[in-house]
Amino acid sequence: MRGGSSMDRKQLDTLIAQRDENRHPLAQIRRESETEFTINNHKYEVVHSFNDGFNFEEFIRRYNPALSQYDYIVGDWGYGQLRLKGFYSETRDEVKGPFITALNDYLLEDVNFGSANFVVHNLEARPVIRKASHSRSRRHSGRNRSRNNNSRSNPGRQQNSRNHDNPQHEHQNNHENETKHRNHNGNRRNHRNHAFVEQKVKPVKPSLEKRDNLVVTKEAESNNHHFIIRESKK
């Protein structure tokens, strides 16, 4: 034996019994007949009991209000302890199970073979509160907060997103940006080269009569060429 005295099965059962005696009922349960009773003024009915499995007093001690959402409550006995499990009706479309149609599989796989068991039908099962919609709204709010934070940290991205949502606005902005870009490049080239417009100017020579130190002696033509012979003044 390790670590001192051990607890045998009888002592364990005694402690469990004492705990159950000190446990207070979590709901107001009243018996109406041999197979009918109410829980918090809602009607229940025992529809199946194998080997006298249904024990009303023990059911009161083991019942938990969380079971009120199920259409059926299945109880089974193991080692002197009652276990309760809830099942939905097969007509419940808003839940994923477990459904009462899987009862036989549950009894074969999870319940001790030949042990006493029973089935209670909840005639007024309360609606199931779905948490998925709350989670979706929370995720949606989280996405909105994230989008707002991104827009504050990167306004340029927000502007691009708006342009993407409005193609006409995006086309107008692109056209304006392209025009500004061309004008800016043109001005930049002019400033980089010169601050004026370059033009080629041919030198203008004075007429023959106004040129100094030149005297026209004679003109001649030869083979369709006209030329002038000039001599300097002495």
Distance separating the N- and C-terminal Cα atoms of the chain: 149
What is the distance between the alpha carbons of residues 234 and 215, in angstroms, rounded to a whole number? Answer: 10
- Residue 87: CB atoms within 10 Å: 21
The mean per-residue pLDDT over the stretch 206-217 comes to 54
pLDDT band at 194 (very low <50, low <70, confident <90, very high): very low
pLDDT of residue 126: 80
Output the CA–CA distances (angstroms, integers) from residue 47 to 30, 138, 143, 154, 160, in the order listed: 17, 42, 49, 65, 66
What is the distance between the alpha carbons of residues 163 and 156, in angstroms, rounded to a whole number? Answer: 11
Is residue 73 within 8 Å of 86, Cβ to Cβ? yes
Residue 173 has pLDDT above 70, yes or no: no
The domain locations on the chain are 13-122
Name beta bridge partners: 195: none
Express each pLDDT in 66-117 by its tens digit.
999 999 999 999 988 999 999 999 999 999 999 999 999 999 999 999 999 9
Express each pLDDT in 155-168 by its tens digit.
555 555 555 555 55
Pick the CATH number of 13-122 from 3.50.4.20, 2.60.40.10, 3.30.365.10, 1.10.150.120: 3.50.4.20
Is residue 148 within 8 Å of 85, Cβ to Cβ? no
The secondary structure element, H or E, covering residue 153 is helix 132-153
Q: Nearest 10 degrees: CA dihedral of 200, 201, 202, 203?
A: -140
pLDDT band at 29 (very low <50, low <70, confident <90, very high): very high
Give the SS3 label for residue 41.
coil
Token representation of residue 30: 């009243």
- Residue found under tokens 């068991």: 117
Q: What are all long-range contacts of 25-28, with beta carbons under 8 Å and residues at least 24 apart?
A: 25/60, 25/61, 25/63, 26/63, 26/64, 26/65, 27/63, 27/65, 27/68
pLDDT of residue 11: 72
* Order of all β-strands in the sheet with 81-87: 29-31, 36-39, 42-50, 117-122, 72-78, 81-87
